[in-house]
Every structure is written in structure tokens, then in C-alpha cells.
Amino acid sequence: MGLTNSGGALWFANELYGTPSVPMTFALILPLLGSFGIIPIIIAIYFAGELVWRDRERGMNEIIDSTALPNWAYFIPKVIAVSAVLVATLFIASLAAIFVQLLRGYVDLELHKYFFWFILPFAVDMLMIAILAVFLQSLSSSKYVGWGLMAIYLVASITLVSIGFEHPLTTLVRRVCSHL
């Protein structure tokens, strides 16, 4: 779904500031950020719930809790797994942008710019989302309550920014993309 949304946004990103543009890397990263931003959050919400509640639904949580490992030894691998899935989606989105560039005949691919301008900053944001999703699922009383808490976060992050509540301490994810 995210690939379809970002593919359409990338294909129809023919203009930059009202003038026709060549599909250069910097001209495709902004539409990619705008069209692909919500899909990794939805993936994190679902995947974190499935990872955290998998043991509890199968009745293995008592056996796992009786082991001598600290709690962080169960938390960190789940965060790493969710983060790896989200970073993989970022690479797939970058490949979609590269594919659009090649279809339009632009062969000067600047892969380092995709990495430093899109994947690396967005991967840090996705790590924060993965930590929050797994943390809220760990604290919630059921998988659906955890999904609801993350849905509240998703709606609140969109609406609070829209009404001007943008303090750096209240926003978990800040996406700044500059041409400089």
C-alpha cells in the first residue's frame, strides 16, 4: 500500500516550485517523505503488537518469565526486529524512487544522497517509533489496547502539529529535509 502511494507521488512529481523538473534525487526525496511517512508507523503498530503478544497468546509467557534473563534481554530484540522491518521498508521506498528515475531516463543515480537524506534520518525516526510501539505493547493489558494507544499517538502527532503544538519535547519524530 505504501509502495503504491509513494510510487504515484513519485511518478507525478513532475514539477518543483511550479517549473518542470528533471527527476533528480533531491526532487524525489520530498514527495517520498510525504507519501511514505505514515506506512512505516502502521507497520510498527501491527508488528510490535504481534511480537510482544505472541508469547502471551500461546501460553509461553510463564515459561519465559521464569528464566534468569533480565527484562531488557526480551525488549531489545523485539525493538531490533521492528526496526529492521521498518528500515527494510525505507530501502524499498528508495528503490521505488530509483526505479522512477530510471523509467524517466535519468541515469545519474546519487545513492549516497538517498542514504544520507532519506534512509539515515528516517531510520532514526523509525527506531524511536519502534521503541515506543514495543514499550506501549509491553505495558498494555492486551494487544488491542496497545494498538489503540499507538493509534492515539498517531492521530495526536498529526493533529497537534496541525494546530501549532510543535514543541521539540512533545514531538517524537521530526523530519527536516533541506537542500543544503
> Is pLDDT above 70 for 127?
yes
Give dist(CA 16, CA 14) in Å, integer: 7
> Is pLDDT above 70 for 26?
no
Give dist(CA 128, CA 88) in Å, integer: 16
Cell digits of residue 131: 521503541
Q: Provide the β-strand partners of residue 19.
A: 16
3-state SS, residue 134: helix
Torsion of Cα atoms, 86 then 161 then 4 then 42, to 10°: 40
**Residue spans of alpha helices (H) in the chain:** 2-11, 25-36, 39-57, 61-65, 72-103, 111-113, 120-139, 143-162
**Separation in Å, CA 31 to CA 7, 89, 127, 131, 169:** 10, 16, 22, 26, 26
Whole-model pTM: value is 0.79
- In which band, very low, low, confident or very high, does the pLDDT at 180 lie, cut at 50, 70 and 90? very low
The pLDDT assigned to 175 comes to: 55
The model's pLDDT over 157-179, given as tens digits with 9 standing for 90+, comes to 888 878 877 777 767 665 555 44
What percentage of the chain carries pLDDT values higher than 70? Answer: 77
Question: In this structure, what DSSP letter does residue 116 have?
Answer: I
The cell 541515469 sits on which residue?
A: 107
The model's pLDDT over 46-100, given as tens digits with 9 standing for 90+, comes to 999 999 888 888 887 778 778 888 878 888 999 999 999 999 988 988 888 888 8
User: In this structure, how many other beta carbons lie within 10 angstroms of the beta carbon of residue 18?
Assistant: 6
- In which band, very low, low, confident or very high, does the pLDDT at 15 lie, cut at 50, 70 and 90? low
Distance of CA 88 to the CA centre of its chain: 10
